[in-house]
Amino acid sequence: MTFDKFDLDKRLMKGIAAMGYERPTPIQDATIPLALKGRDLIGSAQTGTGKTAAFGLPILQRLLEGRRGTFRALILSPTRELAVQIDQSLKSYAKHTKLQVLAIYGGVSYGPQEERLKQGVDVIVATPGRLLDHIQRGRIKFKTLETLVLDEADRMLDMGFLPDINRILSYLPSERQTMMFSATMPSEIQALAGKMLLNPEHVQVGLRSSAAVGITHAVYPVSAHLKADLLLAILRETQSPSVLVFTRTKRRADRVEKLLAKSGKKIAVIHGDRTQKQRTAALDGFKQGKYQVLVATDIAARGLDVEAITHVINFDVPGTPEDYVHRIGRTARMAALGDAFTLVSPEEEMLMREVEQHLGHALPRVALRDFKYDTPAPERSIGLQKASVNTPTVKKSFFSPKRPKLPRKK
């Protein structure tokens, strides 16, 4: 089946064709007809499944049918990077129309965003904080708003955006279409949905909270003090042109960057303490192949769409199983193949078991050939040994009795 069945405006069809989309993905199949009818919906889909077009195309279609140059659709995103990505996708779909899409996010000056707002826009893609700033400065009014999308809702809540979201909701007209997307559906998300949505349709693609398909997972048990050497050895072995390495903290991301500089590979880093300019340069450089390795904290774990990432390496086990799903969702996008490696120190085994319970099965333990796993720790620490695994981000809900049991080891 092609996109023809949705009866979209031919200008949008031209945009889709130029993106190389031939057939709708399952989430698009399920979402587009409902969203075109103006239904509220809650979508739970694996990462990289084509969510942006699933909500973006119906929004653009409905905008084409009404008044132009009036602010009628708002998309909220947890991170600047995801906001930019959604903005770029919508602009591509709408390339042959006169619809104006604007991304609003922090870390850059207000001037150009205010200028564009004055000129009139149809769609705003925003991060909550900067949107509230513009609201307070009186630059944005919501009288004409018709559609709200909350993307990566679970991430928004994890990042502490709930008060901001509630404030934004208080400005919006109650009569509107609302769509909420979340890769995972913890109870907080369901509560938010109950408040925001009216008779929503549920669209679920793939198993709830499941990891993207096409990924080979492997766990490398290793002493904490040898993680850095093992990472270097794995990078040498895989020779992948595009590897995303995750660390649990910003400091560890900076340290891993320094350490990898020895490998002769081109490395970039992305985390919350880098300026927006640095973050954009790192991400663009990685997308264009200028950097072979991007070291990131979880800020980069959700939503980022970089084609052809072949390996995700968790230098540290993520603090929550949901973060594992999101991190590895950066590889194997659109059902390509990818590898997800996790370096696990004995102190992190408990967190790893949480991840396995969440996935419903144990992951294979592997060892790199010829790597000297018994090298003793040096006298002085260089600071990368200790990953504090007792981070408070491990939430009680992860011990929910509903979680599948880990198969017993034979």
Return residues touching ligand AMP (CB under 6 A): 19, 21, 23-25, 28, 48-53, 305, 333-334
Instruction: Note whether 350 and 225 are within 8 A (CB).
Output: no
Name the residue nearer to ligand AMP (CB basis): 85 or 97. 85
Name the residue nearer to ligand AMP (CB basis): 28 or 184. 28
d(CA 326, CA 212): 9
In sequence order, the β-bridge partners of residue 180 are 42, 150
Name the residue nearer to ligand AMP (CB basis): 50 or 58. 50
CB 344 to ligand AMP: min, Å:
29
CB 321 to ligand AMP: min, Å:
21
In sequence order, the β-bridge partners of residue 246 are 296, 314
The first and second tokens of residue 402, run together, are 């509903």
Determine the length of the chain: 410
d(CA 149, CA 15): 21
d(CA 322, CA 189): 13
Name the residue nearer to ligand AMP (CB basis): 255 or 326. 326
84: helix, strand or coil: helix
CB 193 to ligand AMP: min, Å:
20
CB 93 to ligand AMP: min, Å:
10
Q: Write phi, then psi, for 255 (nearest 5 degrees).
A: -65, -40
113 burial via Cβ count (<10 Å: 0-12, 13-18, 19+) = buried
CB 294 to ligand AMP: min, Å:
17
Name the residue nearer to ligand AMP (CB basis): 47 or 178. 47
CB 195 to ligand AMP: min, Å:
26
Count other Cβ atoms within 10 Å, centred on residue 169: 16
Nearest CA to 53 out of 80, 81, 91 is that of: 91
Name the residue nearer to ligand AMP (CB basis): 34 or 222. 34
- Burial track 59-79 (b if 16+ CB lie within 10 A, e otherwise): bbbbbbeeeeeebbbbbbbbb
CB 333 to ligand AMP: min, Å:
5
Residue type at position 152: E
Name the residue nearer to ligand AMP (CB basis): 25 or 331. 25
CB 307 to ligand AMP: min, Å:
6
Residues 6 or more apart from 110 whose CB is under 8 A from it? 133, 134, 137
Residues 6 or more apart from 306 whose CB is under 8 A from it? 242, 244, 283, 286, 287, 294, 330
Name the residue nearer to ligand AMP (CB basis): 20 or 392. 20
